[in-house]
Structure 1
Amino acid sequence: MAFLDTSNLKGDLFGGVTAGIVALPLALAFGEASGAGPIAGLWGAILVGFFASLFGGTGPQVSGPTGPMVVVFAGLYASLADNPTLVFTSVVLAGGMLVVMGVLGLGRYIRLVPYPVVSGFMSGIGCIIIALQLSRLLGHEPADTGTIPAMAAVPGALMSPNLSAFALGAATLAIVFTWPAKLGKFLPGPLAALIICTLAGLVLPAAPVLGDIPTGLPDFIIPSLTQDSLFVVLEAAIILAVLCGIDSLLTSLVADNMTRERHDSNRELIGQGIGNTVAGFFGAIPGAGATMRTVVNIRTGGSTKISGMTHAVLLLAIVLVLSPLASQIPHAVLAGILIKVGYDIIDWRYLMHAHRGPRWDLVLMALVLGLTVFVDLITAVAVGVVLAALAFVKEIADLQLASLESDTDDVNDAETADLLKSAGGRVMLFDFSGPLSFGAAADLGHHVRERSSNETSVVIMDFSHVPHLDVSAAKAVETIAEDANDYGRSLFITGANQEVQNVLAALDVTQLVPTDHWFTDRVAALRTAIAELDDPPAGAVPQPG
């Protein structure tokens, strides 16, 4: 198979050109919002877009600056504005981390982040983007960086708006929100707003504009680290790498659903890593797989990596020839475009239907959203994943405990049910239906103790469907065995595979169960137990009560 598939060359070229036109205003806007400047946004779209497509694992994926990546990068750029080299060092490191993650095969694990966490995180990013642009829409610049200072600046901007800027921003919002879909196939709404409102800005006085934009090729940056900034740079690199992985692989899943293909997640991480590494070396803002641009590419015919590379080449031609014209673009126009981007990132579909689903998922989503907006991104994701994992463990533990069969009404096997009935309640069978987790282990001993009665003489634990036992579950079995000895009950274990037996033996649990009380199937164990009831062994301890 050829490295570059030219079987759909016409569709790929058309899709790439269309995606490039869509990407142009977004790259300028993201570059301006990042603090590094519009040209850094364009070069980010070019370099990440080209190399991520060339080396990535999702055919029609179009990569470039995205809202989540820009939010993290903007915070880093604001904190280290006096030393841009350190900022782009973090981008280079993030790219290297992505390559390592792909080589180690971690792509499959990044996709395991629960949907409520992803939804809350992405919606929080959308809220941040909108909050950061509200003052700019009114012709003002927030006095400080961050979400809260940006929100605090809005009342002052409302009290003394720049009317020219506000008119241009309002017109931009009107265009991007109402642009007809039929026209969008030929001229995307964001690009139409950029052209129309920039031309209008030429006749409106006092609307702040981008100003001079550098032309030509970017300078090469040699990464460097200082002891004082080491933690900040490494933390930002980790956040950027994880964020890029999540953002890109979620977009890859969207592409898979549209094309009925299957992407290579680890190769995609490597491609994104190479793209971001190159971007960092040339002072460009980082990027990831961009959902909207990827969808546009697919819908207009793109299906292979040639389309993503074409998108980058088109932007390269624009930045080398047309960048002087971009100096007249008003800030308010880019702010309007970004507010639409933020609006689209918010998971409105889930928010509108969340009340019909599990209440916990809605609470988790809202918590992650709040942490994303008011604390920081890595805390939001970490807390969300941990809470989601704990909730899942609790749910599985409850199901495992609920699945224990302990009376004849719960037993499907007729022979087993007849034997239990003949025992008259003196034999209790506990059948585990799957792997025993540490979550179930906490209540396992109490559950067995609670379900057993004073009449119980024999407890049978059936491990036939338990492929694995962790240490917590083994300790719970030890507690059950000790309880059985204390109450003078016999404990039978049946169906335990070699791995389960090895875990129990390693913790000396097997010493608490006589060797003749181990069986391969529960019917044999039941028959032996009933025979023991009819002829109790010498020295048996009387039942309490």
Structure 2
Amino acid sequence: MSTRLKPKLLSVMKTYNKEQFVKDVIAGLIVAIIALPLSIALAISSGVSPEQGLYTAIIAGFFISLLGGSRVQIGGPSATFMVVVYSVVAAHGTEGLLITTILAGIILILFGLLKLGSVIKYIPYPITVGFTSGIALTIFSSQIKDFFGMNLGAVPTGFIDKWKLYFASFDQIQWMPFMIGAIALAILIIWPKINKKIPASLISIIVTTALVAFLKLDVQTIGTQYTNLSSSFPMPSIPHITWSKIETLLSPAFTIAFLCSLESLLSAVVSDGMIGSKHRSNMELVAEGVANIASGLFGGMPATGAIARTVANIKNGGRTPIAGVVHAITLLFILLFLMPLVKMIPLATLAAVLIMVSYNMSEWRMFKKLLSAPKSDVVVLLSTFFLTVLFDLTLAISVGMVLTSFLFMKRMTDVTDIQGIEMNDDDDDLELLDEELKEALSDEILIYEINGPFFFGAADKFLDSIQSLQGPSKVLIIRLRNVPVIDATAVHALNLLHDNCQRSNTTLILSEVNDSPYKVIKRVGLVREIGRAQVCRHFDQAIARAKEIVKLH
């Protein structure tokens, strides 16, 4: 993985040829066909008009391919942040969504410029599976109304309230839309087993749209639900941005930027493994940022690199960003010239498409496996999952990260061991001392060893262990040979120990301090306080210094 801020397109064009161009065009056309129903369905489920999903796929898809750090990434609207988008639209309208999308784009550019591309991927897996599964369940819940053709008007946003309404409105089910949705879902499940080249979503749309049109079935379509669909491409415009709106929308913008970073970089990693390439993570984030700003200016939604579309691109021969550009141009052609056909697509079919998306992203097998993981990971997994479903994604990720951090600190504290060393212990270094010297030193010197990271989680443990010392001693040696890192709290604990030693006329010696901890204690002035002679790089030096102090030399 490279961190260079150079678009991948500039690199691949050096060796580009006609044969690859043909493959990229074919892959781009196929991916556009896959992206069409997804873009429309995600837009409708997010509370905006269908063409806004197409604007997003066209504009964001174009810029992600043009400027991105991956050879094969395909960008567009994603189910991952559909829940966040819906809540923003419900609370702040379409203008609020455009501002949020632009803010998310700015944050993504900052992520890239600050070179956070490699850091963002270090998100604990239980959190990723937890919120992904939670989003999948939420998406599935949002499709019940259209799949069963229920005339319910506005559906509550809350998960429990939504399902209460569904169960109370069971008599509202219309069997014709349900049959169309069921046929579409059956095709989505069965078709890939018959033919993997032609997208199942395309077949399901063609079959169900033809059934509704030719048989004149009483089924809601995109055209009947959205009568004022535009087939023209919008001019860019800047929404009315105020400081109060920025303060309100910054939180969902950060959530979208985080999710966008996570999904796009995971997609890039997956695609690297499939084509034997290396993406440029920070350039990818900058491109995602530019794409989201452009999407917001053209009236679109948030966008990211999508794993499913990227994999489809690879499997159909796409190997350069040209495939992504072709995908965007194809969708633009459909918007401008084929919108009358798009209006005929049944809403139940789009619901079936998203139900299939929710199933694929649910990762239920991995969810089940993680339930057998250590209890701390299970707590993080279930907390993130239920908070995503019952409350919101921002809270779920925040709590998940805080929980993970605390549990990590607990694990590191458990790993860090503080133990006293007696002069008659089995220790290779102590074997170097003769028995007479050991006996003489045993009454005058105490030796303690810290094993593991010495940080704020282990500082109290250290002080408690030291306070349990019995009897007076002239020298206290703290061996730090197995301490790879030290933090400010641990340094403070050593300071407190030094003060206690001074009050009891005991000399504190730090032995075998590694380079990283030594830099820290020197920078904060602890070496000067203890005395340079009392900070030893080797154990024999520490013993020699102790002998001087107890006058045994």
Q: Calculate the TM-score normalised by the size of structure 1.
A: 0.89
- Corresponding letter in the other structure for 1:345: M
Query: Is structure 2 residue 134 aligned with structure 1 residue 124?
Result: yes
Offset of 1:150 from its aligned partner?
A: 2.8
| Alignment length (residue pairs) | 530
2:105 aligns with: 95
Structure 2 unmatched runs, 5+? 1-8
Q: Does 1:325 align with 2:337?
A: no
Does residue 191 (structure 1) correspond to residue 202 (structure 2)? The answer is yes
Contact 2:412 / 2:453 at 8 angstroms: preserved in 1?
no
Deviations 1:87-136 (A, max 9, x none): 21221222122112211212222212211111111111111101111122
Task: Give the stretch that moved more between structures: 420-429 or 157-166.
Answer: 420-429
Segment drifting more, 222-231 vs 151-160: 222-231
Counterpart of 2:144 in structure 1 is 134
Return closer, same or farther for 1:182/1:10 CA change in 2, 3 Å cut-off.
farther
The answer to whether the 8 Å contact 1:39/1:214 transfers is yes
Which residues in structure 2 correspond to 1:390-405 (within 5 Å)? 390-401=406-417
Whole-Å separation in 2 of the counterparts to 1:379 and 1:163: 38
Closer, same or farther: CA 235–405 of 1 in aligned 2, 3 Å: same
> Equivalent residue for 1:423?
438
Mapped contact 1:221–1:282 kept (Cα < 8 A): yes
- 1:539 — aligned with what? none
* Distance verdict in 2 for CA 1:355–1:76, change over 3 Å: closer
2:68, 2:283 within 8 Å by CA — same for their partners in 1?
yes
Q: 1:159 to 1:418 in 2, by over 3 A?
A: farther
Please give the alpha-carbon distance, in whole angstroms, between the structure 2 residues aligned to 1:24 and 1:482: 70
345-354 vs 55-64, greater mean Cα deviation? 345-354
CA gap of 1:69–1:518, structure 2 versus 1, over 3 A, is: closer
Question: SS in structure 2 opposite 1:179?
Answer: helix
Cα distance, 1:182 vs structure 2 = 4.3
Q: Match for 1:164: what amino acid?
A: M
Letter in 2 for 1:396: M
Pick from 135, 155, 165: which aligns with 1:153?
165
Q: C-alpha displacement at 1:161, in angstroms?
A: 0.4
The answer on 1:353 being equivalent to 2:369 is yes
Aligned sequence identity (%):
30
Counterpart-to-counterpart distance in 2, 1:325 and 1:496: 73
| 1:344 alignment counterpart | 360
* Aligned partner (choices 386, 390, 396) of residue 380 of structure 1: 396
Distance across 2 between alignment mates of 1:80 and 1:28: 21
Q: Is the 8 A contact 1:165 1:332 kept in 2?
A: yes
Alignment of 1:9-24 (within 5 A): 9-24=21-36
Aligned-CA RMSD value: 2.8
Instruction: Give distance in 2, aligned partners of 1:406 and 1:21.
Output: 70
Aligned residue number for residue 491 of structure 1? 508
- Give yes or no for the alignment of 1:463 onto 2:480: yes
Q: Match for residue 4 of structure 2?
A: none
Amino acid of the structure 2 residue aligned with 1:439: G
Matched, 1:480 2:494: no
| CA–CA separation in structure 1 for the residues paired with 2:86 and 2:135 | 13
Paired with 1:95 and 1:297, the residues of 2 have a C-alpha distance of 24
Change (3 A) 1:505 1:298: closer
For residue 63 of structure 1, the aligned residue among 45, 57, 75 is 75
Relative to 1, partners in 2 of residues 1:89 and 1:163: Cα closer, same or farther, differing over 3 Å? same
1:514 and 1:323, CA in 2 relative to 1: closer, same or farther beyond 3 A?
closer
User: Hey, what's the Cα distance between the residues in 2 that align with 1:172 and 1:420?
Assistant: 85
Q: Which residue is equivalent to 2:236?
A: 220
Task: Quote the Cα distance in structure 2 between the aligned partners of 1:420 and 1:42.
Answer: 82
Partner of 1:437: 455
The CA deviation at 1:390 is: 1.8
- Comparing 477-486 and 254-263, the one that deviates more: 477-486
Could you tell me which amino acid in structure 1 is paired with residue 299 of structure 2? Answer: G
Alpha carbons 1:142, 1:153 under 8 Å: kept: no
Distance 2:53 2:426 in 1: 65
Contact in 1 for aligned 2:455/2:488 (Cα 8 Å): no
Are residues 410 and 110 of structure 1, via their aligned partners in 2, closer, same or farther at CA, if it must alter by over 3 Å? Answer: farther
CA separation in 2, counterparts of 1:358 and 1:88? 42
Contact 2:429–2:539 (8 Å) recurs in 1? no
Show the counterpart of 1:525: 542
1-structure distance, mates of 2:356, 2:65: 26
